[in-house]
């Protein structure tokens, strides 16, 4: 069978095919020679694997992209999106996101199809008190994390335990008063940030009996506002005690004498300008 196109011939037998060549005289077509004088050898393209995606943490060291499962010994060429060659090894180290291309070349100078690794960037969260909104002294105390300035990562949140459980929701509800730690973890493994948060709350009672439990009355979480002023009154409006916000609180004494079991009133002027008033019970058992 004559090969009509001699410039774009596609082999009909895989990997190796013998082609016959006929040579004939221009003067006498009956004078010709034919024989299997040409062997067409088809070398396979290099085959190997890469992970198609990767994450680089901008707050951590560079990452290494690698080829694996090669069918043979190849040389490699890694390129960035601009076409600049980054490596001639089977691996390349990168510190930023982007599309990275690798091409393998076999010993017979056959080049593979390009393979692309898409690297996404992430980073540990950046968190400050301005990114936290606390709703306290309520039936439903909440801590909400503003997502706008945390960073480019995808984050999840836990309260008071670095091991979780974590949640995607950036709002914690029904938070008890006192000191809390909010943990913000990047789901891509770039790290966990944390910040202390204080929820203001007022105990309903205290029992100053010396057992080490609820022996004093103090505003929960007020240590975050150390210049707050806390006043304790009896039911007639008589000032009994001004409490140091950094101290243990009121022990139920007035001028060294135990005050009786009854309700007492408080007024608190917080550093942030809020003024809270209410009452609580002193219970002696």
Q: Which residues contact 277 (CB under 8 A, 6 or more apart)?
A: 265, 266, 267, 268
pLDDT per residue rounded down to tens, the chain (285 residues): 656 666 677 777 766 777 777 777 777 667 766 766 666 677 789 999 999 999 999 999 999 999 999 999 999 999 999 999 999 999 999 999 999 999 999 998 999 999 999 999 999 999 999 999 999 988 899 999 999 999 999 999 999 999 999 999 999 999 999 999 999 999 999 999 999 999 999 999 999 999 999 999 999 988 888 899 999 999 999 999 999 988 999 999 999 999 999 999 999 999 888 899 999 999 997
Quick one: 133 and 112 in the same domain?
no
Quick one: 73 and 53 in the same domain?
yes
Quick one: 168 and 102 in the same domain?
no
> H or E stretch including 79?
strand 75-79
CATH of the domain at 101: 2.60.40.10
pLDDT tens digits for 196-214? 999 999 999 999 999 999 9
> H or E stretch including 243?
strand 239-244
Q: Where does a domain end: 165, 199, 233?
A: 199
Contact 67, 101 (CB under 8 A): no
Q: Where does a domain end: 122, 150, 182?
A: 122
Q: Where does a domain end: 179, 199, 219?
A: 199
Domain tally, the chain: 4
Peptide bond before 165: cis, by omega within 30 degrees of 0?
yes
Q: What is the Cα–Cα distance from 179 to 162, expressed in whole angstroms?
A: 15
Domain that holds residue 22: 1-42
Q: What is the Cα–Cα distance from 21 to 167, expressed in whole angstroms?
A: 74
Q: How many Cα atoms sit within 13 Å of 25 on the Cβ side?
A: 6
Predicted local confidence at residue 35, as pLDDT: 62
Quick one: 213 and 189 in the same domain?
no
């Amino acid at each position: 069978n004559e090969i009509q196109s001699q410039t774009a011939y596609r082999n009909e037998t895989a990997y190796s095919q013998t082609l016959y060549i006929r040579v004939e005289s221009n003067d006498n077509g009956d004078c010709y020679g034919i024989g299997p004088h040409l062997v067409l050898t088809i070398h396979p393209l290099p085959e190997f694997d890469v992970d198609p995606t990767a994450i680089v943490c901008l707050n951590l060291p560079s990452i290494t992209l690698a080829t694996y499962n090669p069918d043979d010994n190849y040389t490699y060429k890694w390129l960035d999106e601009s076409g600049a060659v980054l490596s001639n090894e089977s691996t390349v180290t990168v510190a930023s996101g982007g599309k990275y291309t690798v091409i393998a070349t076999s010993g017979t100078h056959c080049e593979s199809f390009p393979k692309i690794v898409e690297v996404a960037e992430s980073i540990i969260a950046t968190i400050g008190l301005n990114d936290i909104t606390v709703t306290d002294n309520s039936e439903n105390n909440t801590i909400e994390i503003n997502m706008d300035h945390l960073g480019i990562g995808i984050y999840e949140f836990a309260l008071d335990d670095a091991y979780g459980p974590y949640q995607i929701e950036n709002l914690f509800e029904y938070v008890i008063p006192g000191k809390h730690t909010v943990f913000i973890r990047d789901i891509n493994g770039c790290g966990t940030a944390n910040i202390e948060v204080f929820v203001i709350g007022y105990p309903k009672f205290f029992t100053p009996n010396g057992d080490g439990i609820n022996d004093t009355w103090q505003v929960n979480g007020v240590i975050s506002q150390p210049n707050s002023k806390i006043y304790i009154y009896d039911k007639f409006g008589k000032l009994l005690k001004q409490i140091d916000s950094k101290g243990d609180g009121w022990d139920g004494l007035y001028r060294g004498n135990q005050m009786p079991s009854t309700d007492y009133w408080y007024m608190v002027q917080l550093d942030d300008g809020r003024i809270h008033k209410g009452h609580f019970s002193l219970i002696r058992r």
